Amino acid sequence: MSSNSTAHEVVILGGNFGGVNAVHQLLRQTLPQLHRLDQTKSYHITLITPNTSFFFKIASPRALINGTLIPQEKLFVPLSEAFSRYDASQFELIQGVASALDPATRTVTISTGDGTTDATRQIHYDSLIISTGTTSKSPLWTLHGSESHTQSALTALHTALPNAKTVLVAGGGAAGVETAGEIATNFPNCKVTLLSGANRVLSRVKPATSARAQDYLENIVHVEVINDVRVESTNPAEPGVSPTTLTLSDGSKRDVDIYIDATGGTPNSEFLSKSWLDESGRVITRDVYFRVKGNGSDDVKGIYVLGDMVAGSSNSALEMDPMLATLCSSLAVDIATDLGVKKPAEPAPGLLGSVWKMFAGGSGTRYPVQKAFEPMKETIFVPIGNGGGVGQIFGWRIPSVMVKVGKGKSYLIELVGPLISGEKFKKA
């Protein structure tokens, strides 16, 4: 928390994709813009998260194969490196987990460290961004508190996969399809089975794309695909990479050398009032600009939600940038309104107005503008091995080679540098 008690305190809960991006966009663009509106006002950000490193989870399906395709030093980057350019008057990083939220006093209670200790402290906020994400059953896909759990899970697979004869992957979403494809491609003598758990793989995309994915899995990389069957239980209960007996929803049993659960995650919303959440545990918004709705009685002014925690979110990384742009504009508009700064009148239409805009710059004002949420709908890239895959852009199916070039070649690991440094956000 800022030593300047008059600073407007922005608290961000969760320090992976959403939180890291939010810190950079706010400090490089949104807050400087607000400071220019009223130079007597200062701002400070506190990021609260249990992890000490950023985890580029997009690349997990390839990173789990071995330690050389995507080394862990590229997959995990210390948060201290991400925020080294910001001084204490601007930013503070606290390792901790939110355990309670009191809207009446505008405070968050956190368990310090990775959440395993009893030590707590309270943090005041003026604006709050909830970006705590989800926790998958396997640490391969999301951080389970400290990044050490994910690092250990990856290392264990690196050791076990070369000797495995049978691998079963549960989950027919992008992570499951990509993982089955990577393992089958890199270990062709291993029998790989994918349980989609639905009537088709990639059930959120168009049926034609889904059918192409199954065809690619079965006939190009030789994965056994079984639809409408789920894993009901495992023995041992937490198998790790040891031989496991699976009981399936059709009543059958399977013995496999390695079982990988890629069935999705549970929202990290335990610290929030259930009246704020939908049936899945995600936060309900009161508008399309990611302001939290609350329950009608709690003071939710200045509280926003980001990423996988948003009710109705597609849980896609492709949503993050447009979602963040909208959220930051909401925060800026709300603060500007509280400051009493009136939006200047727009110039008159016509030639004189156009000339005035040209010399004044843009609309002639740097007053915050509410941005609409404009995601790339029905867009997905799913590599299946290193030779190609399936995908669609705005619902239009794209060739396998585009998937290979667009994502399959490197699993977008080259995006980590600009994301961590904040260079993806041009300074305002």
- Predicted local confidence at residue 342, as pLDDT: 75
What is the fold of 8-138+266-354+413-421?
FAD/NAD(P)-binding domain (3.50.50)
The architecture of the domain spanning 164-263 is 3-Layer(bba) Sandwich (3.50)
pLDDT at position 261 is: 98
- DSSP class of residue 302 equals T
Q: Confirm if 138 and 262 have CB atoms less than 8 A apart.
A: yes
Tell me which residue has tokens 């904040």: 422
- Cite the residue boundaries of each domain of the chain with CATH code 3.50.50.60: 8-138+266-354+413-421, 164-263
Q: What is the pLDDT of residue 119?
A: 87
Give the pLDDT of residue 118. Answer: 75
Query: d(Cα 289, Cα 286) in Å, to the nearest integer?
Result: 8
Q: How far apart are CA 235 and CA 246, in angstroms?
A: 7
Q: Would you call 27 helix, strand, or coil by DSSP?
A: helix
SS3 string, 239-301, reads: CCCCCEEEEECCCCEEEECEEEECCCEEECCCCCCHHHECCCCCECECCCCCEECCCCCCCCC
CA neighbor of 285 nearest in space, from 267, 303, 266: 303
**In whole angstroms, what separates CA 276 from the centre of its chain?**
20
User: By CB neighbour count within 10 A (0-12 exposed, 13-18 middle, 19+ buried), where does 69 fall?
Assistant: middle
Cβ neighbours for 411, distance < 8 A, ≥ 6 positions apart: 58, 59, 61, 62, 63, 70, 383
| C-alpha to C-alpha distance for 406 and 380, rounded to whole angstroms | 11
Return the pLDDT at 2: 55
Q: Where do runs of H (alpha helix) occur along 347-424?
A: 351-360, 400-403, 416-421
pLDDT, tens digit only, all 428 positions of the chain: 555 568 999 999 999 999 999 999 999 999 999 999 999 999 999 999 999 999 999 999 999 999 999 999 999 999 999 999 999 999 999 999 999 999 999 999 999 876 666 789 999 999 999 999 999 999 999 999 999 999 999 999 999 999 999 999 999 999 999 999 999 999 999 999 999 999 999 999 999 999 999 999 999 999 999 999 999 999 999 888 999 999 999 999 999 999 999 998 999 999 999 999 999 999 999 999 999 999 998 999 999 999 999 999 988 899 999 999 999 999 999 999 999 887 766 555 555 554 444 444 444 447 899 999 998 889 999 999 999 999 999 999 999 999 999 999 999 999 999 999 999 999 87
Strand bridging mode 134-136 / 265-267: antiparallel
Tally of CB atoms within 10 A around 198: 17
Q: What pTM value is reported for the model?
A: 0.92
